[in-house]
Structure formats: C-alpha cells, structure tokens
Amino acid sequence: MNIETKCLHAGYTPKNTEPRVVPIVQSTTYVYDSTDDVAAVFDDPTRSLIYSRFANPTVMAVEEKIAALEGGVGAMCTSSGQAASLLSLLNILKAGDSFISTTAIYGGTINLFAVTLPRMGIECIFVSPDCTEEELNAAFKPNTRAVFGETIANPALTVFDIEKFAKAAHAHGCPLIVDNTFPTPILCRPIEHGADIVTHSTSKYMDGHAVQVGGVIVDSGNFDWTNGKFPEFTEPDESYHGIIYTKTYGKAAYIIKARMQLMRDFGCYPSAQSAFYLNLGLETLAVRMKQYCENAMTVAKFLESHEKVESVNYPGLESSPYHALAQKYLPDGCSGVISFVIKGGRPAAVRFMDSLKLASNEVHVADIRTCVLHPASATHRQLTDEQLVAAGINGGMVRFSVGLESIDDILDDLRAGLAAV
C-alpha cells in the first residue's frame, strides 16, 4: 500500500459483517474461558488482551496504523507527547546513565531533559543541532546510551540532520530517537534515514483537529540491543517470569518491553475514545499535510516580501540556513509552522496579533485552523526584553501555524494585521 492508502486502511481490516469503521472498545477488561487461559496470558501478555491500562483494541488499531506509516515493526500510544518522549528514553536509561540531545527541541522536552530527568539520576548532554561530527563524537561518555533530536524543531524550525546523528549514535553503540511531530510520516520517515525509534505528539498534525492530547513511540526493529550495552534487553526480566526480550520478541524487543514494563507500571495509556479521534485525523493526514505545506509556502513568501516584516524563518524558503537539509529530508514540504519577526519589536507584534480576525490566539500549533502565538507574551512572558534577546527570542517574533482555510482568506487576514502595525 502507498502511504495515502495506509492512512485509511492500515491497522484495521473488518471481516464479514464487522463494522466498517474501527470500533470504540470502551472496556477496561476482557473475559477468559478458564483460569488456564488467564495464566497463559500472564506468562506472555502479547498473546491476548488483559487490561486497558496497557492494551486496548481501538488503541492497538491506531498503533498498527502509525507503525505502518513510519515503517516500523510496532508502536505504542501514550496519553501525551510528553509521555512518549519520557518512555522512549526510560525504556533504555536508568539512574547513572546519560544521553545526548540537541538543544533545538520542544520547550516541554527541554524541561523534561534539563530538570526532571536529572532528578531521576539521568543526565542529558546538550549539543547544538549544527555541531560538527567531531563535536558530536566528543560529547559521548562511557555511560551514554541514546541520542535524541527533533526533525523540524518546535519552535526553532531548525532541520535535524538525521543521517549525521544516526552515524555518530551507531558508532557509539547507541540508538537514535527522533521526535517527528511536525513533519509526520507523510513528509519525512526518519527510519529510512537511520533513526531507530520515532516519537510523536499526536496532539498536533496527526490528530489535526485539536480534539485529543496523545503521543506515540514507534520501533524500527533495526537496532541491535545485544551489543553489550543494554543488559535490560538481554538478561532475564524478573518482573515477567524471566523473559529475555531480545530472545522472545526479536526485532520487536524494544516496543514490547516498553509496553510490558513501562506502560504496565506507569499506566499513561490513552483511552479508546481518544484513539478513535486520533484515527479520524490520521485518515485524512496525507491530504491535509499537502495543503498545509502549500499554504505555508505561500504565506512564507508573502511575509518575506512584506516591508513591515524584518525576517521570516521557514525551512522551505531558499533564504533559510536549513534549506539544503530541508530539501534532503523534506522534499515534499516543510509542514505548516512559520515564525517571523515584525519590525518594531514587542508593541508592533502585539498590535499585529490583536488585529487578526481569522487566526486565533492560541498556545496550540499544527491545528486545522490557523493559529498564532506571541512567545514574548506567552511561553516566554516572564523574561525582560534583555533576557528575551539572550534567549534568542525577538520581542517582535510571532509563531504562525498555517491552517487549511482558503489561502486568500489567510493572506487577507495577514494583510489587515500588518496594516494595523
């Protein structure tokens, strides 16, 4: 199946007289004919369903669809993108370990990596997304066991050089984890470029309609967990009758371990109802992503030629320092989020924002409706003008998430907003 077809058909194939649409199985529990059947499923939870804290038929249909879209051997949904980032790492790391991440990642992920994981004894070594191969290789320590980056960073809009980071990670016996939220598998499939694990906040384009918060972890099945660095995969798990994940589950060791250990213990699994909404979004993902890219490119070019705009940041523009990487990794488009700086700093940006009629003022991005955020008044509100400059945020900067309205209406709204400045 091609990717457009997978969006509609992967993960659920109804049999004779079964519902055409994936059913919402809103049940915590599943029944068994005998005590022996229950015992067997506790020996190997992949054989059947036990409890909706870590497996549910509606959610599993969506997991299979996303694994197919990314080209992985399996996937596990989580109750948020943050939970996906956390579990993707906790499945590999323990207190005393370190991992490498670029600094160009989502703000919530920065907080998780820089503040919360260190409290659990896990160190994050930050590197610049633009570091040289020598600098990257020098960042590894003997206890480093994973590398993390974001395909198109939210909100920096840098493009991650997946192959460069995969090469360094693999040379050090570590897996590469890529947060692929902004491109979605329609625009980039990191596994094809050497990523071992892919994560998403499904709250963004995958859902697209802003109706559910969710996340997902996809396992490529390609990483060799038996290289000596990962005893949790190759030694018996006493919490599961001595199962050895790499022996029993082969290529799917990582994703099955994540479900059997972490989802069992942390329980951050989405509800069937949420997975149903996510599936509706996924069905139209291929069509929507094409239109987001087309609308965003038109908006980026319009802004770039506008006299009241100081600069535009969009990897699809030739003026972007990430244009070459975008052409390599994102040949079909760079998604729908743009950031730009209005001349006149903070007051000009506020005036522009408050004059928009169509674009709504929201903290969300990647919605089907155009939305806009002024970082200096919202996510970075506590900072003074001087601190903003130090943090690399211009008071005049606006983050614009282009929606699927008529491009003429979006441009009219922008024209009116800029005219008010």
Binders of ligand PLP among residues 202 to 261 (CB under 6 A) are 203-204, 213, 215
Closer CB to ligand PLP, 56 or 212, in the complex: 212
For the CB of residue 44, give the shortest distance to ligand PLP in the complex, in Å: 31
C-beta of 7: minimal distance to ligand PLP in Å?
20
Q: How distant is the alpha carbon of residue 251 from its chain centre?
A: 22
CB of residue 81 vs ligand PLP: minimum separation in angstroms?
2
Does the protein bind ligand PLP through residue 82 (CB under 6 A)? yes
- Residues in contact with ligand PLP, counted by CB under 6 A, come to a total of 16
Given the complex with ligand PLP, which of 85 and 339 has the nearer CB atom? 85
Shortest distance, position 108 Cβ to ligand PLP, whole Å: 5
Which residues are bridge partners to 340 per DSSP?
312, 398
CB of 199 to ligand PLP, least distance (A): 8
User: Could you give the C-alpha distances from 64 to 7, 70, 74, 304, in angstroms and in order?
Assistant: 11, 10, 7, 41
User: Which of 63, 97, 150, 196 is close enough to bind ligand PLP by CB under 6 A?
Assistant: 150
Among 80, 102, 295, 339, binds ligand PLP (CB under 6 A): 80
C-alpha 167/C-alpha 136 separation (Å) is: 10
**Residue 201 amino acid letter:** S
String of contacts with ligand PLP for each residue 85-124, x by CB under 6 A: x--------------------x-xx---------------
Residue 179 or 219: the one with the smaller Cβ distance to ligand PLP is: 179
Nearer to ligand PLP, 158 or 181 (CB): 181
Alpha carbon distance 207, 71 (integer Å):
19
**In the complex, what is the shortest distance from the CB of residue 32 to ligand PLP, in angstroms, rounded to a whole number?**
34
In angstroms, what is the minimal distance from the CB of 80 to ligand PLP?
3
- DSSP structure string for 241-264: TTB-HHHHHGGGHHHHHIIIIIIH
| DSSP of 283-319 | HTHHHHHHHHHHHHHHHHHHHHT-TTEEEEE-TTSTT
Q: How far is the CB of 45 from ligand PLP (least distance, A)?
A: 26
What is the longest distance spanned by two Cα atoms in the chain?
74
For residue 413, give the nearest of 316, 320, 310, 302 by alpha carbon.
302
Residue 277: partners with Cβ closer than 8 Å, 6 or more residues away: 207, 209, 211, 212
Position with the least CB separation from ligand PLP: 81
Please state whether beta strands 309-313 and 337-342 pair in parallel, antiparallel, or not at all (unpaired): antiparallel
Q: Segment near ligand PLP (CB under 6 A), from 29-37, 77-85, 157-165, 345-353?
A: 77-85
Sheet with 337-342: strands ordered across = 309-313, 337-342, 397-401, 371-373, 360-361
Positions 161 through 200 that interact with ligand PLP (CB under 6 A)? 179, 181
Query: Which range, of 81-89, 163-171, 335-343, 345-353, touches ligand PLP by CB under 6 A?
Result: 81-89
> Residues 6 or more apart from 116 whose CB is under 8 A from it?
none
* Nearest residue to 186 via CA among 69, 98, 349, 327: 69
Stretch that binds ligand PLP, among 11-19, 61-69, 79-87, 256-264 (CB under 6 A): 79-87
- Minimum CB distance to ligand PLP smaller for 78 or for 246: 78
Query: Which residues bind to ligand PLP, rule: CB under 6 A?
Result: 80-82, 85, 106, 108-109, 150, 154, 179, 181, 201, 203-204, 213, 215
